[in-house]
């Protein structure tokens, strides 16, 4: 797994019960997603220059422990599967101080032609990088 996010829980990210609200888990996982995509070659430049993008198709999040203001978080990510037009990947959120797993989310995202607004094949070099990360011990 590779590290794709590192940050802190701020008091304004909590709900009325005092722990981090679910919208912030999604936000932190989303930031990790863009770092993972960049590692795969789906950079901002690639998106702009090729009129391509990524669109989430499915997401399953599991909350395993409360996260409180001041907690330091790390997200580690890995590619689980690559197909012609989609990438399935996993994010694991950890408490950086304790190492305890606090949440996971698994996503499926489609490679998108932003002009045609439909899924299209991933370039071979991106598929190759995904395949390398599936078996990687980084």
Helix (H, G, I), strand (E, B) or coil at 138: coil
Q: How many residues does the chain have?
A: 138
According to DSSP, residue 83 is labeled -
| pLDDT for 138 beyond 50 | no
Name the pTM for this structure: 0.93
Residue with tokens 């919208």: 23
Kindly report the three-state secondary structure assignment for every residue of 72-121. Answer: EEEEEEEEEEECCCEEEEEEEEEECCCCCEEEEEEEEEEEEECCCCEECC
Report how far apart, in Å, the C-alpha atoms of 93 and of each of 11, 37, 85, 125 are. 18, 17, 26, 28
Give per-residue pLDDT as tens, 43-79.
999 999 999 999 999 999 999 999 999 999 999 999 9
């Amino acid at each position: 797994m590779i590290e794709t996010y590192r940050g802190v829980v701020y008091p304004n990210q909590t709900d009325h019960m005092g722990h981090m609200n679910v919208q912030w888990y999604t936000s932190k996982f989303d930031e990790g997603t863009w770092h993972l995509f960049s590692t795969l070659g789906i950079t901002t430049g690639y998106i702009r220059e090729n009129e391509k993008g990524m669109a989430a198709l499915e997401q399953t999040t599991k909350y395993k422990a409360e996260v409180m203001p001041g907690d330091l978080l790390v997200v580690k990510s890995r590619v689980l599967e690559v197909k012609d037009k989609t990438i399935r990947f996993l994010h694991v959120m950890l408490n950086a101080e304790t190492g305890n797993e606090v949440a996971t989310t698994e996503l499926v995202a489609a490679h998108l032609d932003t002009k045609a607004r439909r899924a299209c094949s991933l370039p071979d070099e991106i598929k190759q990088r995904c395949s390398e990360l599936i078996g990687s011990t980084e």
